[in-house]
Amino acid sequence: PVSPGELLCLGSSLAFSGLFYYLYRRKARAMARVQEAPKLQVDDDLPALVSAADGRCLPYVALEGIVLPAKTALISHYHEGLQGVIQKLLLKEHRLIWNSLARSW
């Protein structure tokens, strides 16, 4: 005879295993799509290629080419001669909400 508590533990264990396997497979599919992404060169043909794509969007591509900084390039403090640029800067502020139960913001 199996007790109801054991059945509950078994059911919750199977449910969590199924959830984690689903999340793993979803991330694995996304990773495979990124690894299989076509490599494109940044040249004059790129705008025409994007315009010809469905919805004027290429889902996963790897762009190769030379980028020029808008003002000055970032210089590494740790590796001499290494420079870089920032592609996009995103600033997100989190709103502080008082949690009365934990008595913290």
Q: Which domain holds residue 49?
A: 4-84
Question: Could you tell me the pLDDT band of residue 91, with boundaries at 50, 70 and 90?
Answer: low
Q: Is 90 inside a domain boundary? A: no
Higher pLDDT, 75 or 95: 75
pLDDT in tens, 11-20: 999 999 999 9
pLDDT in tens, 11-49: 999 999 999 999 999 999 989 988 888 888 888 888 898
Q: Is 100 inside a domain boundary? A: no
Q: Return the percentage of the chain with pLDDT > 70, whole number.
A: 92
The three-state (H, E, C) secondary structure of the chain, written as one string: CCCHHHHHHHHHHHHHHHHHHHHHHHHHHHHHHHHCCCEEECCCCHHHHHHHCHHHCCCCCEEECCCCCCCCCEECCCCCCCEECCCCCCCCCCCCCCECCCCEC
Q: pLDDT at residue 74 above 80?
A: yes
Q: Is 22 inside a domain boundary? A: yes
> How many domains in the chain?
1
Q: Is 92 inside a domain boundary? A: no
Q: Whole-prediction pTM value?
A: 0.47
